[in-house]
Chains A and B, each alone.
Chain A
Amino acid sequence: MRMKASSNSFRNNHSSSFRDPSGYVFVDNNVLKRAVLPKYFRQYNALKASGFYKKVIKHSLLIPHNESKTTKDSIELIPEEIPFITYPYEWSFSQLKDAALHTLKLQNYAVSNGFILKDATAFNIAFHRGNPIFIDTLSFDFYSSDSPWKAFKMFVQHFLSPLVLAHYHGPTILKLLQTHIDGIPLSLTTSLLPRKSKLNPTILTNIHLLAKAERKYKNQTDKKTKEIKVKKERHLNHLDALYSFIQGLNVNQKTEWGNYYENIHYDDTALDFKKNQISEWISYLDLKTVVDIGGNDGTMVRSFSHDLDFAIVGDIDENAVDLNYQKIKEQKDANIIPVLLDILQPTPALGFDNKERFSIINRLNKFKPDLTLALALIHHISLGGNVPFLKIAEFFARFSNYLIIEFPNRNDDMVQLLLNQKRDFKNHFDFYSDENFERDFGVFFEIEKRVAIPKSNRILYQMKTI
């Protein structure tokens, strides 16, 4: 255990908070709080007295907090609540890019004000009210004159490397962050990058050269890093150069589902009917929180989001998630959060004891939305993933009291395609019918409404858990 505190302090400790000895996060009567330990009092008091906290909060760089209790052993803070946390491996390219820029901006501001970011993990960023925000209030330390940024390697592994990899290989590679929660190792990044990447001076120096130096000096633990100096002006220029480079980075990938609503031959009447019907049910039942599983770019949720408090929009496609994020930024949709979500392979629990980062199922269960939306999805799970109706019903019944689900029958184009792809095993899927669907979902739900969507081969259901 790295923390010098009595084992008592760990009793209510949040299971993802143990790495940094400056303090820890804990849950007290369902309220998330942060304890500052005496070891960090000097920094904390300076950050407060200098007005630095006030300024970074004012500029929306750091999550606001209130001091709730002060004793000689700890200072207790209550940070502003973030409704739903998504992890870096559930972000789209633009989200990771904005999180990287946000981190650099904060480091630049800190150094200019006599402080420094002592770590640069992507888990210190959350998306809140449509924008990235830094959530680790205790990540600052004093900037001592001309000292280098000790979290630089961490920044490269958590942000620069995955972004550059996605630039060359497409956004799917960002999932590497799931298997490397401490950032992508430099050696792995360099082995995956094409040779031509060395022609770019920023990638050559900040990744390739860095990896080489790390390999060379890996075992020289006797040398003191204190002797290394980086002039403040150069330090700030380095941050500026990284900022400009990342700002200009893009990801080359054609969209598969990203412009779903433009590509699909979905009749406008059917789509409008669906929007109006769902909106009517939501307002009648007075539902305020929603998780849309397979919500594409958020088009559906956006049509009634003004009536909601909060909506989580998941999708399997990186481009759809990215498009949703872009729309959230453009339209200032403060109550929508995008999340990359493959329902056949949901984000698992990760880290030490599998408790450091929660699974998406765990987070959704805790959030407990009023409604689960599953539109144009069941055939992908049932026919694409071979999951029986009963299992799907049991799965959906765990999230929320209400479920609005769309069932495309066997005449639907997509269902036809999925069935034909089964070739010789097509007969194995004879069970796929609305009768069987209703029978199996009826085990876990009471089917309250059943409406055929006009000009389509689809049925819309409103269900309530039994």
Chain B
Amino acid sequence: MIVLYFDPGLGAMLVQALIAAAASVIVFSKNVKAKIQNFFSNKKRGKPHQDSININEDESKF
């Protein structure tokens, strides 16, 4: 690992560990909510596909 050219902030690092733990709960509940919505919703009338943070490896913009 190379030396950083800026201060990442100790406080920011410590808080990040906390937020990341909390975020896991949020993401988990989001996924559960989405699954429930999917279960009850009519697929044809379902929401248009929303862009996700994950890259689909089979999909290329080129």
Task: Give a binary string over A58-75; 1 marks a CB under 8 Å from any B CB, 0 the rest.
Answer: 111100000000000000
A-side contacts of B30, CB under 8 Å: 241, 244
Q: Identify which of A201-209, A263-271, A397-405 touches chain B.
A: A201-209
Task: Give a binary string over A203-233; 1 marks a CB under 8 Å from any B CB, 0 the rest.
Answer: 0011001101111111011010100111101
B-side contacts of A20, CB under 8 Å: 5
Task: Give a binary string over B45-62; 1 marks a CB under 8 Å from any A CB, 0 the rest.
Answer: 000001111110001111
B-side contacts of A148, CB under 8 Å: 13, 16-17, 20
Asked if B11 and A215 make an inter-chain contact with CB atoms under 8 angstroms apart, the answer reads yes
A291 within 8 A of B: no
Chain B residue with the shortest CB-CB distance to A144: B1
Asked if B10 and A223 make an inter-chain contact with CB atoms under 8 angstroms apart, the answer reads yes
Asked if A213 and B19 make an inter-chain contact with CB atoms under 8 angstroms apart, the answer reads no
Asked if B18 and A205 make an inter-chain contact with CB atoms under 8 angstroms apart, the answer reads yes
Asked if A220 and B10 make an inter-chain contact with CB atoms under 8 angstroms apart, the answer reads yes
B-side contacts of A239, CB under 8 Å: 53
Chain A residue with the shortest CB-CB distance to B50: A247
Asked if A241 and B1 make an inter-chain contact with CB atoms under 8 angstroms apart, the answer reads no
A-side contacts of B2, CB under 8 Å: 21-22, 39-40, 43, 118, 141
B15 within 8 A of A: yes
Find the residue from B1, B12, B16, B53 having the highest chain A CB count within 10 A.
Answer: B12
Interface residues of B in 12-43 (CB under 8 A from A): 12-24, 26-28, 30
Rounded to whole Å, the gap between the CB of B48 and the closest CB of chain A is 13
Asked if B60 and A59 make an inter-chain contact with CB atoms under 8 angstroms apart, the answer reads yes
Rounded to whole Å, the gap between the CB of A219 and the closest CB of chain B is 10
Which of A58, A105, A118, A238 is in CB contact (< 8 Å) with B20?
A238
Interface residues on A, range: 35 or more
Q: Identify which of A151-159, A165-173, A278-286, A354-362 touches chain B.
A: A151-159
Q: If A21-B5, A239-B53 touch, does A228 touch B21 (CB 8 Å cutoff)?
A: no
Which of B4, B10, B28, B53 is in CB contact (< 8 Å) with A243?
B53
Rounded to whole Å, the gap between the CB of B55 and the closest CB of chain A is 5
Asked if A152 and B16 make an inter-chain contact with CB atoms under 8 angstroms apart, the answer reads yes
Q: If A105-B53, A152-B8, A153-B8 touch, does A228 touch B14 (CB 8 Å cutoff)?
A: yes
Asked if B16 and A233 make an inter-chain contact with CB atoms under 8 angstroms apart, the answer reads no
CA distance A434 to B15 in the complex (A): 63
Interface residues of A in 102-151 (CB under 8 A from B): 104-105, 108-109, 118-119, 141-142, 144, 148-151
Asked if B5 and A2 make an inter-chain contact with CB atoms under 8 angstroms apart, the answer reads yes
CA distance A210 to B16 in the complex (A): 8
Rounded to whole Å, the gap between the CB of B39 and the closest CB of chain A is 20
Which of A141, A142, A237 is in CB contact (< 8 Å) with B27?
A237
CA distance A234 to B20 in the complex (A): 5
CA distance A6 to B21 in the complex (A): 45
Asked if A150 and B8 make an inter-chain contact with CB atoms under 8 angstroms apart, the answer reads yes
**20 interchain pairs, CB-CB under 8 A:** A104-B53, A108-B53, A119-B6, A148-B16, A148-B20, A151-B8, A209-B15, A210-B19, A213-B15, A217-B14, A225-B10, A230-B16, A230-B20, A238-B16, A238-B20, A241-B26, A241-B30, A243-B53, A247-B50, A247-B51
Q: Which 8 A-B pairs have the closest CB atoms?
A: A213-B11, A150-B8, A153-B12, A234-B20, A241-B23, A214-B11, A217-B11, A238-B23
